[in-house]
Structure 1
């Protein structure tokens, strides 16, 4: 479900390749963004599809001006361009939605951040009396990342791509191993933390985390193109496909059972919906001021990571806030200045040939610097 790495413009845990570029832009305002050079943005996107991505789409907001741009193709070997507002898997950006729900419950007095997880989920974690809710959301619990216990070989991954996973099964993969470190002493990104957070939401509210995300975030904000897919393997509506090359053949890896990601990274969205979410979250529409401040507060050793939300320092000294995600051929980043005056949502899908994607650093510098 991805580890943080966009601040350095480096994406790992993803097979990427090159393709020809098809380009287009679309305005959602009468004027182009004043400071941001759209030609520079397009050059960065085209560099991405020349060097690794099959297709890429971006939505950029500066003040009251917004535009979308794209490069590459929606399907390998075909000429149809990436939809300007196509749907895609957002991976670990899901964590910010889940953290928002947990922090809403904190604001309602139903969850205490510094209470042990064992208070809400007795018996789930062997160290549940030492791991707090806060530690889950800030990745300082020490819990082994369950994805490290899943097959790492792409061929083996594809064999179980349609398997249904219960959250408790994923957590059990983690707890079969000892803690990586004493709780609260280090930062180590682990998808297990949010698998547990999803279970906590269900225990406290009586409803699954996906239902709570929908009723507390998606519906109030009108995010009609955002989905929590459960076991559904496909992506509804227009979307780009992702690929990997195995044994000399090109394999479309767009479809799989996303229950393996669950509350850690299963959601599907669009650039428009994610832009609205970032604006609403930082604008105070979803959380009370105290909980938003908690979300943005990091520890000296947590690499700028707060509670399901992170600070991304740019090369020029500007700080953007948000989250990134990598899942089965899709890479996404949602970033915004704290005042929401400048926002970026970008998603790209993988091509079949391995290669390092270029252009990410140039894109970030153009938007935030």
Structure 2
């Protein structure tokens, strides 16, 4: 996923909403359900992530039947209210793994084949190439106005259709790996063409309800995050300074099948445990999911992986939903899992700190 990173001054980080100056809140920490996992030092790790450049953080760690849940930071700038342990957050590109699972279920049912071709603006690509980002179709997101441009806020309530967004990019290119959100907008249309129902309805029917992911939803055009949640922010240019503006509520249709999902740490861990446990796909399609689109790649069919310093390979995905960032990774047996979500303050790139946080658990 592509992140936005800008230099936000300390003064700017104290300003939210209508650019009203407020004092920074003292970070708060909390935990629940430790169940013998104190040795993970996960709570201290979350505090470090917040100190490195986040307003708040929430995580769930699973090791077999033991569970640790923790939070750090605050739910909103200018508040001392802690981040809720059961926080809902925008999960960004983790949506892609849900959508890819539905596509592969249709393959398993014989209603679709990975080598079926799809016409996109006169360019024909296979379903596989859409799933693994080797279609050559450009990403539509760079064609949009993005932070820190003030005009970005003018679009926050707009409803976008997949057709509008796909039409913003032309044709295709070479069949090499190039991450493109457009691929998953097209796959959302493929699901609808095959089933007669929207991709969101199919995700709900095939994954969310059967797994009882009660705090997960596909919001469509609903700008709200229903249930307890931290506020998210974006940096916006105000005169000669960058200021953080509350961007918790906005129309997520601009993300569509590539990123609209709202979920929790618990639900995402439950989803990946079910996926790797064979409850959603047969073994042969899980192998396809783990097959990279290019040699030595780290992205398969809607699924990413990372190799830890101790040699443990973990699978999952991460997500950037503008004001929220999230990571969910598991060992292939589903026994060891970490899901983490942050509300960044955009003062630093947190990827290295998050990598260290994940490695601390998977390499213990």
When the two structures are superposed, what TM-score results if normalisation uses the length of structure 2?
Answer: 0.90
Give the aligned partner of residue 146 of structure 1.
140
Q: Does 1:168 align with 2:163?
A: yes
Deviations 1:199-242, CA, capped at 9 Å, x for gaps: 00000000000000000000100011101001111111100011
Q: Which runs of 4+ in 1 moved over 6 A?
A: 16-19
Counterpart-to-counterpart distance in 2, 1:197 and 1:44: 37
For residues 102-141 of structure 1, what are the structure 2 equivalents within 5 Å? 102-118=103-119, 124-128=120-124, 131-141=125-135
The answer to which structure, 1 or 2, has the higher relative contact order (CA under 8 A, 6+ apart) is 1
Give the aligned partner of residue 13 of structure 1.
4
Shift of 1:269: 0.4
Unmatched 5+ stretches in structure 2? 14-23
Root-mean-square deviation over aligned CA pairs: 1.8
**Structure 1 range deviating more: 304-313 or 97-106:** 304-313
Shift of 1:340: 0.9
Partners of 2:5 and 2:348 within 8 A in 1? no
Which of 262, 266, 273 is matched with 1:272 structurally?
A: 266
Give the aligned partner of residue 234 of structure 2.
244
Deviations 1:51-85, CA, capped at 9 Å, x for gaps: 21100000000111011011100011100000111
For residues 207-246 of structure 1, what are the structure 2 equivalents within 5 Å? 207-246=197-236
Shift of 1:302: 6.1
When the two structures are superposed, what TM-score results if normalisation uses the length of structure 1?
Answer: 0.89
Give the aligned partner of residue 255 of structure 1.
249
Partners of 2:234 and 2:322 within 8 A in 1? no
Give the aligned partner of residue 23 of structure 1.
29
Partners of 1:94 and 1:264 within 8 A in 2? yes
Give the aligned partner of residue 90 of structure 1.
91
Counterpart-to-counterpart distance in 2, 1:260 and 1:299: 26
Which is richer in strand?
2
Unmatched 5+ stretches in structure 1? 4-11, 119-123
Shift of 1:103: 0.2
Counterpart-to-counterpart distance in 2, 1:204 and 1:47: 46
Counterpart-to-counterpart distance in 2, 1:110 and 1:51: 47
Counterpart-to-counterpart distance in 2, 1:295 and 1:366: 26
Counterpart-to-counterpart distance in 1, 2:7 and 2:204: 32
